[in-house]
Amino acid sequence: LWYLFSPSVDKAWKELTNILSGIFCASLNFIDSTNTVTPTASFKPLGLANGTDHRLLRYTVLPREVVCTENLTPWKKLLPCGSKAGLAVLLKAERLFHSSYHSQAVHIRPICRDASCLAVSWELRQTLTVVFDSFCSSQGKKDWSLFKMFSRTLTDACPLASESKVYVDISPKNKEKELLEVTPAPTSVHEAVVQGDKRTYAVYDLLSPSLFNTSRSLNVQLKWKRPQDSSELPTPVLHAQRYVSGYGLQTGQICTLIYNTHPYRAFPVMLLETVPWYLRLYVHTLTITTKGKENKPSYIHYEPAQDRRRPHLLEMLIQLPASSVTKITIQFERALLKWTEYTPDPNHGFYVGSSVLSALLPSVIAMKDVDVEQSPLFTSLFPSSDGSSYFVRLYTEPLLVNLPTPDFSMPYNVICLTCTVVAVCYGSFYNLLTRTFQGGGGLAKRLANIIRRFRGVPPL
Amino acid sequence: MGLLSDPQCRRALARLVVRLNTPLCALSYAAGLAWFLALAAPPLAPRTQMSENAMGSTMVEENFQLGARALAYARQFGARKAAAGAMPVTWLEQTLWALGLEPHRQPFARTLPFPDEARERYMVRGTNVYGILRAPRAAGTEALVLSAPCSEGPRNDQAVGLLLALAEFFRGQIYWAKDIIFLVNEHDLLGMEAWLEAYHDVNVTAVRSSGPLGRAGAIQAAVALELSSDVVTSLDVAVEGLNGQLPNLDLLNLFHAFCQKNGLLCTIQGKLPRGDGDSLPAYGQSLRTLLLMALAQASGRPRGDHGLFLRYRVEALTLRGVNSFRQHKYDMTAVGRTLEGMFRKLNNLLERLHQSYFFYLLPSLSRFVSIGLYMPAFGFLLLVLILKALDLWMKLNKGDAGERLEDGGEDPRPGLLALVPPVLICHGAGLALYFVPVLAQRAAAQHFPVSEAEGVVLTAVAIYVAGMALPHSTHRALAGAGERGWMALKLLALLDLALLLGCLALLNFSLGFLLAALMVPGAAAVQPTGPRVLQAAVLVLATPAGAVLLGVLAQRELEEAPAAAGEGWPLFLGAVGEGLLQHHLYGAVLCPVLALGAYPAWLLLWNVLFWK
């Protein structure tokens, strides 16, 4: 979650998280100062904004929370037709969560109301990303249809919608055409440059009446004409991996590997790391190596954590040479928590949120400036700053770190044992060590001495 | 404690300790041994039970049907392996890819400190291949591991086959919450160590591996599989890991529960429990199993590929298919179902396995002895050393006080300085025993007609024996201390030994207990007066090397494959070489503990015996 505020940030942030938590049935109310940071360079305001003061920005991530059906329902209610009509009829929770990947997002930003830009409107954009596992459901075949995936077909557009389209990526691979076919025939074909690559899309416009002429419903199907060998997947230009190395419960090391697979272009990447306070980072151990040599970041911003108040924040601008792997390591020590601070399942481990990589990637082919008016969807989904590069933001995987955990089942035993040991052993040993033993006397003499002390007479 | 602060009671206690010392020691020693032997009996070994809620009440239904497919994979793998003469890396990667997994390879290389003659390897090169099954909609924070070794010859082909079939079956399921890593490791433990070090990005041993790896988060549990036949009669489970570490008892309970559910015959230490009654044969069988486990734990050797996981706090065990002459056989489907059930339950885990015991001994698969029950046995043995030390301390002090009265102030007590030379010399001998054999292997191989591996072992033995001649060459440095001299030296040796054994028993109970059981009588009895030959014989039997030999022989005896008389020496040499290798390859501590701890302590006692 990230948000840019007008002044009185912290109060507004708290209100916002609680409101959002209510709207989306999500545990966003767990956001507090211990997991919120103020990044300086990784995020920029979207849409109309005149202030670029980074102090007004807040960013947080709750790696423990996962998206589930109860978050989908309120999300669907924000749509103009709910899930009653239009594309949203496809969103059946049972199918959406029977998939490999699921992500839903809500973006709000101020935009101009009209061309003259005298008044401000708010734009609400909702995105839902689902990856279906065709391998799992169709025995290795890669054909699909809307019905197969969603167990629903499209019947009409939402009456409130001004535009309602289905895009199917039919870009030819390796210059071979006609490998696949889509049925029914698309209403039009759209060509666009997406993330530095030329793509062809078949477009089904639900608002055009010709679609529903022949049959009542639209069931887009894609068939491969001959079986594909899928052994070559294109590797993305920028990807990253993060893990915890080392073993034992005292120290450890967070490693981030950033891959630049571009054959000849180097580019800078902005890395944002937030680490909870109970991992005590040793900043002097921060090393960045590329191809065996040290790589000095051109910009670095570090805010140390404060126990129980604020997480670590580390922002770096790193130059990635062409076709290289950059390894960033930083060592940490695991803190001992107070026993009430442990989560109910302490042996599961504690999460460290994903780090954020923001980069302007050089594109493979020259892009022409896409006309915003012509295809608003593509420019907002795949923004590009100019013709030669496009913007990418990556989130690495969250980490699971084990902290030293007491055995919660036996605090009573521990208290009893410790008290007994202290009382019995320490007392008697102290006694034995500090006393001088003299022959005779014993109990009688001691008693006599006590009595004499009461009487105010010097002891024997 | 009140007893001690009262001078009269103190004196009475001291008198008791001095006068009844020998009977008390004997009693305590006997009690310790008897307690240990009694551990195998049912009252001291309660039934195991599942403590982890996430695995207990939710029974899963197993649907694995691909037993025939597993055998087909096994045959293909065997054929490819025979054709390539090594791990068929490309074929495995392609197969894993075709199954819809994410294949990775990890090449590694390792040069052994000296040639391993038992397995015929010195400079090892290999490749581990593994595939990651990504859990749907999970962020890759947790993982489970199923591993099978790629061994030489047709061994363990079926394990790889079953692994691939399970991968195929697991890929089609939607319920996974943790990533699953299917690992085929080459060169058994060496490959496993290389993979684990690379996965955790540490370098504990001198393994070199190259390239970044695909990862899948923190590993929660691991199962290593060893199968060499198409059908099995029983499954044997191995738990003992490196340095006697054990996995959480719940993992074992899980395996036991699924064996019972599927009607599979399962054993531990290769021993079937003989009935559940209190009969003598049943007790005998339990005791044999218990002793075998103690011996295996004491050796500190990983008893399967799982053993190296435990260092990284990953609960792991090895399942080994046994094909004996029993009538009833189980096919791959039954074994696969057991594994499927185990993985589904592990997948249900919310936390790491932590509810049940980490310290236990197993007289059978369904019974366990917890740490609270077996520790007293060791406590009694240690008490012997402490009683003896107290006795010596009091004698030293009393004599001191008496003489001071007679001589009027002159202090004849041997200063602590007089004890420094023997202590230094003995520990120096220990250091030599630890460092010289491996360092001097080349010299040994050049000057004597032995191979390097033999050279290392024989140098170790030579240094060991040479150390025993020390009292004859060092007594000049110790002369003049008289009666008190050996008493003070023995006191020191006893305390040294007690400290060493006490620490050992906390880390590896079996090693501590077995060493104590052997060394304590000799240590308590030794003195320069009396029948020297008899004492020397007892002491020689109780030397650490003697303990190793006795351990090896006892293990062969308990496994019902007793060693012939002539076999003892080669077995002993093999065990010493193996121990040295285990230390240098995986960081097993048995060799340094014996060389740097037990051997010097024993040498001190040997010095006491030949005191002049």
Over A390-412, what HEC string results?
A: EEEEEECCCEEECCCCCCCCCHH
Chain A CB contacts of B309 below 8 Å: none
End-to-end CA distance of chain A, in Å? Answer: 79
The tally of domains found in chain A comes to 4
Chain A CB contacts of B313 below 8 Å: 247-248, 402
CA dist B430 → B419, B422, B437 (Å): 17, 12, 12
Whether residue A81 lies inside any domain: the answer is yes
Which of A377, A401, A425 finishes a domain? A401
For residue A377, what pLDDT is reported? 57
Whether residue A369 lies inside any domain: the answer is yes
Q: Does A433 touch chain B (CB under 8 A)?
A: no
- Tens of pLDDT along B109-146? 888 888 877 777 888 888 899 999 998 888 888 999 99
> Based on the domain organization, do A242 and A390 belong to the same domain?
yes
Q: In angstroms, what separates the C-alpha of A341 from chain B's closest C-alpha?
A: 17
Is there a contact between B1 and A257 if contact means CB atoms under 8 Å apart? no
Integer Cα distance of B271 and B288 in angstroms:
9
Over B34-84, what HEC string results?
A: HHHHHCCCHHHCCECCCCCHHHHCCCCCCCCCCHHHHHHHHHHHHHHHHHH
Q: A373: pLDDT confidence band, cut at 50, 70 and 90?
A: very low
When pLDDT is averaged across residues A138-163 and rounded to a whole number, the result is: 79
Q: B280: pLDDT confidence band, cut at 50, 70 and 90?
A: confident
Give me chain B's average pLDDT, please. Answer: 85
Integer Cα distance of A24 and A32 in angstroms:
18
Chain B CB contacts of A439 below 8 Å: 7
Residue from B469, B583, B601 nearest B543 by CA: B601
> Based on the domain organization, do A57 and A194 belong to the same domain?
no
Angle between the B568-586 and B544-558 helix axes, to the nearest 10 degrees?
110
> Based on the domain organization, do A368 and A420 belong to the same domain?
no
Question: Which residue type is seen at B17?
Answer: V
> Based on the domain organization, do A151 and A276 belong to the same domain?
no
Is there a contact between A247 and B100 if contact means CB atoms under 8 Å apart? no
Specify the higher pLDDT residue, B537 or A437: B537
Q: What ipTM score was computed for the predicted complex, to two decimals?
A: 0.84
Residue A64 has pLDDT above 90, yes or no: no
Q: Are strands B266-268 and B360-364 parallel, antiparallel or unpaired?
A: unpaired
Q: B436: pLDDT confidence band, cut at 50, 70 and 90?
A: confident
Residue from B104, B102, B99, B123 nearest B113 by CA: B123
The secondary structure element, H or E, covering residue B510 is: helix B509-525
Is there a contact between A135 and B171 if contact means CB atoms under 8 Å apart? yes
Q: B405: pLDDT confidence band, cut at 50, 70 and 90?
A: very low
The answer to whether B133 touches B143, Cβ cutoff 8 Å, is: no
Integer Cα distance of B333 and B441 in angstroms:
50
Whether residue A444 lies inside any domain: the answer is no
Q: B536: pLDDT confidence band, cut at 50, 70 and 90?
A: confident
Nearest CA in chain B to A400: B141
> Based on the domain organization, do A371 and A326 belong to the same domain?
yes
Q: Which residues is B407 bridged to in the sheet?
A: none
Tell me the residues of chain A between 353 and 412 that have a Cβ less than 8 Å away from chain B: 354, 397-402, 405
Strand order in the sheet with A299-303: A299-303, A312-320, A267-275, A356-362, A389-395
Tokens of B240: 């003992």
Specify the higher pLDDT residue, A83 or B238: B238
Residue B404 has pLDDT above 50, yes or no: no
End-to-end CA distance of chain B, in Å? Answer: 40
Chain B CB contacts of A102 below 8 Å: 137
Is there a contact between A432 and B200 if contact means CB atoms under 8 Å apart? no
Is there a contact between A348 and B2 if contact means CB atoms under 8 Å apart? no
- Tens of pLDDT along A424-433? 888 877 877 7
Integer Cα distance of A35 and A38 in angstroms:
10
Chain A CB contacts of B174 below 8 Å: 98, 136
The residue behind tokens 């065997």 is: B78
Question: Which residue type is seen at A239?
Answer: H
Whether residue A300 lies inside any domain: the answer is yes
- Tens of pLDDT along A239-248? 899 999 988 8
> Based on the domain organization, do A278 and A355 belong to the same domain?
yes
Q: In angstroms, what separates the C-alpha of A112 from chain B's closest C-alpha?
A: 37
Integer Cα distance of B485 and B423 in angstroms:
13
Residue from B253, B364, B245, B255 nearest B296 by CA: B245
- Closest residue to A136, CB basis, from B6, B141, B171: B171
3-state secondary structure of A374: coil
Contacting A with CB below 8 Å, chain B residues are 1-2, 4-8, 94, 97, 100, 134, 136-137, 139-142, 171-174, 200-202, 212, 215, 217-218, 311-313, 350-352, 354
Range of the domain at A416: 407-436
- DSSP-assigned letters across all residues of B263-299: T--EEETTB----SSS-HHHHHHHHHHHHHHHHHHHH
For residue B410, what pLDDT is reported? 40
3-state secondary structure of A280: strand
- Tens of pLDDT along B511-526? 999 999 999 988 888 8
Residue from A362, A365, A360, A358 nearest A199 by CA: A365
Q: In angstroms, what separates the C-alpha of B606 from chain A's closest C-alpha?
A: 35
Chain A CB contacts of B587 below 8 Å: none
Which of A202, A234, A266 finishes a domain? A234
Tokens of B220: 């929660």
When pLDDT is averaged across residues B43-66 and rounded to a whole number, the result is: 80
A133: phi then psi, degrees, rounded to nearest 5: -100, 90
For residue A372, what pLDDT is reported? 44
Integer Cα distance of A137 and A140 in angstroms:
8
Is there a contact between A345 and B350 if contact means CB atoms under 8 Å apart? yes
For residue B408, what pLDDT is reported? 39
For residue B48, what pLDDT is reported? 86
- Closest residue to B1, CB basis, from A135, A346, A424: A424
Q: B45: pLDDT confidence band, cut at 50, 70 and 90?
A: confident
Which of B66, B250, B352 best probes binding to A when mutated, by most A CB atoms within 10 angstroms? B352
When pLDDT is averaged across residues A60-87 and rounded to a whole number, the result is: 85
Kindly calculate the radius of gyration of chain B based on its CA atoms and give it in whole angstroms.
28
Chain B CB contacts of A231 below 8 Å: 94, 97
Nearest CA in chain B to A257: B212
Residue B409 has pLDDT above 50, yes or no: no
- Closest residue to B215, CB basis, from A135, A241, A424: A241
Integer Cα distance of B261 and B339 in angstroms:
12
Question: Which residue type is seen at B577?
Answer: G
Query: Cβ contacts of residue B400 below 8 Å, gap of 6+?
Result: B411, B413
For residue B281, what pLDDT is reported? 83
Residue A83 has pLDDT above 90, yes or no: no
Q: B477: pLDDT confidence band, cut at 50, 70 and 90?
A: low
> Based on the domain organization, do A244 and A392 belong to the same domain?
yes
> CATH number for the domain including A371?
2.60.40.740
Q: A376: pLDDT confidence band, cut at 50, 70 and 90?
A: low
Q: Does A65 touch chain B (CB under 8 A)?
A: no
Q: Which residues is A400 bridged to in the sheet?
A: A351
pTM (predicted TM-score): 0.88
The answer to whether A403 touches A337, Cβ cutoff 8 Å, is: yes
Is there a contact between A348 and B352 if contact means CB atoms under 8 Å apart? yes
> Based on the domain organization, do A42 and A108 belong to the same domain?
yes
Which of A134, A136, A242, A260 best probes binding to B when mutated, by most B CB atoms within 10 angstroms? A136
Q: Does A292 touch chain B (CB under 8 A)?
A: no
The answer to whether A61 touches A35, Cβ cutoff 8 Å, is: yes
> Based on the domain organization, do A274 and A423 belong to the same domain?
no
Kindly calculate the radius of gyration of chain A based on its CA atoms and give it in whole angstroms.
32
3-state secondary structure of A68: coil
Nearest CA in chain A to B94: A231
CA dist B47 → A13, A267, B261 (Å): 55, 63, 17
Q: A138: pLDDT confidence band, cut at 50, 70 and 90?
A: low
> Based on the domain organization, do A246 and A103 belong to the same domain?
no
- DSSP-assigned letters across all residues of B307-353: GGGGGGT-EEEEEEEE--S-S--B-HHHHHHHHHHHHHHHHH-SS-S
The secondary structure element, H or E, covering residue A414 is: helix A411-420
For residue A389, what pLDDT is reported? 73
Tokens of A392: 């990418």
- Closest residue to A243, CB basis, from B6, B174, B215: B215
Q: In angstroms, what separates the C-alpha of B155 from chain A's closest C-alpha?
A: 31
CA B186 to chain centre: 23
Is there a contact between A397 and B97 if contact means CB atoms under 8 Å apart? no
Whether residue A105 lies inside any domain: the answer is yes
| Polymer length of chain A | 460
> Based on the domain organization, do A151 and A114 belong to the same domain?
no
Chain B CB contacts of A398 below 8 Å: 139, 141
Tokens of B189: 């433990």
When pLDDT is averaged across residues B607-612 and rounded to a whole number, the result is: 78
The answer to whether A201 touches A219, Cβ cutoff 8 Å, is: no
Whether residue A359 lies inside any domain: the answer is yes
Integer Cα distance of B148 and B188 in angstroms:
9
Please report the number of interchain residue pairs, chain A to chain B, with beta-carbon separation below 8 angstroms.
96
Question: Which residue type is seen at B98?
Answer: A
For residue A371, what pLDDT is reported? 44
Whether residue A328 lies inside any domain: the answer is yes
Integer Cα distance of A228 and B78 in angstroms:
29
CA B448 to chain centre: 34
Question: Which residue type is seen at A48?
Answer: L
The secondary structure element, H or E, covering residue A378 is: helix A376-381
Nearest CA in chain B to A247: B312
Q: In angstroms, what separates the C-alpha of A327 from chain B's closest C-alpha?
A: 10
Is there a contact between B1 and A432 if contact means CB atoms under 8 Å apart? yes
Which of A78, A108, A131 finishes a domain? A131
- Tens of pLDDT along B59-101? 788 888 888 889 999 999 999 988 888 888 899 998 998 888 8
DSSP-assigned letter for residue B223? E
What value, to the nearest 5°, has the Cα angle with vertex B126 and ends B124 and B129?
155
The secondary structure element, H or E, covering residue A10 is: helix A9-24
Strand order in the sheet with A180-183: A144-145, A221-224, A180-183
- Closest residue to B141, CB basis, from A102, A400, A435: A400
Is there a contact between A400 and B352 if contact means CB atoms under 8 Å apart? no
Q: Does A136 touch chain B (CB under 8 A)?
A: yes
Whether residue A441 lies inside any domain: the answer is no
Q: In angstroms, what separates the C-alpha of A99 from chain B's closest C-alpha?
A: 7
For residue A56, what pLDDT is reported? 77
Cis peptide before A184 (omega within 30 of 0): yes
The answer to whether A49 touches A111, Cβ cutoff 8 Å, is: no
When pLDDT is averaged across residues B358-362 and rounded to a whole number, the result is: 91
Integer Cα distance of B391 and B370 in angstroms:
33
Is there a contact between A99 and B136 if contact means CB atoms under 8 Å apart? yes
> Based on the domain organization, do A222 and A265 belong to the same domain?
no
Give me chain A's average pLDDT, please. Answer: 80
Is there a contact between B136 and A100 if contact means CB atoms under 8 Å apart? yes
The answer to whether A126 touches A79, Cβ cutoff 8 Å, is: yes
Which of A245, A289, A405 best probes binding to B when mutated, by most B CB atoms within 10 angstroms? A245
